[in-house]
Structure 1
């Protein structure tokens, strides 16, 4: 009986030890340095995605001006035009498509598009999951605010403020396992993200956090040092955040 016990115990240890080593060493990911070259978008423009609320203004035609939510299939329906593909387009591009459609019924339509209730496509979201504080952010979407527009002749990004909600998966106040998402903002850094998310949870191990980032179409894993950045003001840890980054915050083991 004793021999059977020890055989079973050793077999369990054989599988448990590698997992324990991975957890305690922070998985051994290469560190992402502040000086490291990154493909930072210089001409970033917001891309509409499913869940976005799109306000459509047709100059001189208030009866066909409307607000629509982009459906999961990426399309919207507006007066005089059904099932227009909005996802994957900039506000300006969508405005041009609508002008073409509406020109069948309206003489020389001029369309202005404003986006609010940002969701965006995954490739432009910043998603963060793990041990987070209860402040800031939004779980399952971005709060109100307006500031992404498409007008005849061009469009751009203004300010978007007041991300709503907090939520997550049982985390509140002192932390817990939570997931939040934010739209990418030009020149965003790790410190900007921490301010937006409201900081880490009580039991987070910030120096074992990591970023999953797509480089040349391949997902790669990098370590980041949030504790050094926040607790020690180590600006070398203030790495650039890029569209599509996923930040993972593990729990500390005591």
Structure 2
């Protein structure tokens, strides 16, 4: 790949990373975010220091909390988990205000593997495109087949869908629609 193409792609990534519609380094999670494994949440019951702690969502989606016991958190929104906790705790502490705060998002991940400079698992704080994921993985190695990249997505029914990605076309400003938004669990494979 020539230097001009690399410069054009670098400019493209930087422009969209700092533009108002682009990605942001600040983590924001909307009310629809569903908790998942390894997410860190802070649970507190007002007025009781013994009932305040950070909790990690287990791989099975469960959490444990005093007076509430084990309950499923995976797949719930923060509000839904708060309501469940409040219901369980109210048997012991009636009308106690329960607060649940999402401290760290670890669940939505994408995987970048193959001939990139730094293959890795990326945590999606916000929406992320293929080019952004490749940039966060240190870019393509000199031996990468840049025109044959694929994105593998697992569907809810267990089947998989493959999206082709031609880095060279994108660097030339062509076929920009292939720079799709990634979904949690997507794997980018660079041959």
In the superposition, the TM-score normalised over structure 2's length comes to 0.70
Structure 1 residues 44 and 190: alpha-carbon distance in aligned structure 2, compared to 1, 3 A threshold: farther
Match of 2:163 among 201, 219, 222: 222
Q: How far apart in 1 are the matches of 2:45 and 2:78?
A: 14
Structure 1 residues 213 and 91: alpha-carbon distance in aligned structure 2, compared to 1, 3 A threshold: same
Aligned residue-pair number: 160
Q: How far apart in 1 are the matches of 2:151 and 2:129?
A: 12
Deviation at 1:249, TM superposition (A): 1.1
User: Deviation digits for residues 100-127 of structure 1, max 9, x if unmatched?
Assistant: 111112222222222334331xxx4322
2:113 and 2:188 in contact (8 A); partners too: yes
Deviation at 1:195, TM superposition (A): 3.4
Structure 1 residues 223 and 113: alpha-carbon distance in aligned structure 2, compared to 1, 3 A threshold: same
Which ranges of structure 1 fall in alignment gaps of 5 or more residues? 1-42, 135-177
Secondary structure at the residue paired with 2:50? Answer: helix
Q: How far apart in 2 are the matches of 1:44 and 1:248?
A: 32
Secondary structure at the residue paired with 1:227? Answer: helix
Secondary structure at the residue paired with 1:200? Answer: coil
Q: How far apart in 2 are the matches of 1:214 and 1:117?
A: 24
Deviation at 1:216, TM superposition (A): 6.8
In the superposition, the TM-score normalised over structure 1's length comes to 0.55
1:130 and 1:179 in contact (8 A); partners too: no
Q: Which residue of 2 aligns with 1:247?
A: 188
CA RMSD, 1 decimal = 2.5
Q: How far apart in 2 are the matches of 1:65 and 1:95?
A: 13
Q: How far apart in 2 are the matches of 1:216 and 1:128?
A: 21
2:122 and 2:133 in contact (8 A); partners too: no
1:132 aligns with 2:116: yes
Answer with 1 or 2: which has the greater Rg: 1
Deviation at 1:215, TM superposition (A): 5.1
Q: How far apart in 1 are the matches of 2:34 and 2:183?
A: 15
Which ranges of structure 2 fall in alignment gaps of 5 or more residues? 1-29
User: Deviation digits for residues 148-182 of structure 1, max 9, x if unmatched?
Assistant: xxxxxxxxxxxxxxxxxxxxxxxxxxxxxx34232
Structure 1 residues 63 and 246: alpha-carbon distance in aligned structure 2, compared to 1, 3 A threshold: same
Match of 2:144 among 204, 212, 217: 204
Secondary structure at the residue paired with 1:206? Answer: coil
Secondary structure at the residue paired with 1:244? Answer: coil
Q: How far apart in 1 are the matches of 2:185 and 2:58?
A: 21
Deviation at 1:209, TM superposition (A): 0.6
Deviation at 1:66, TM superposition (A): 0.8
Deviation at 1:132, TM superposition (A): 2.1
Structure 1 residues 110 and 133: alpha-carbon distance in aligned structure 2, compared to 1, 3 A threshold: farther
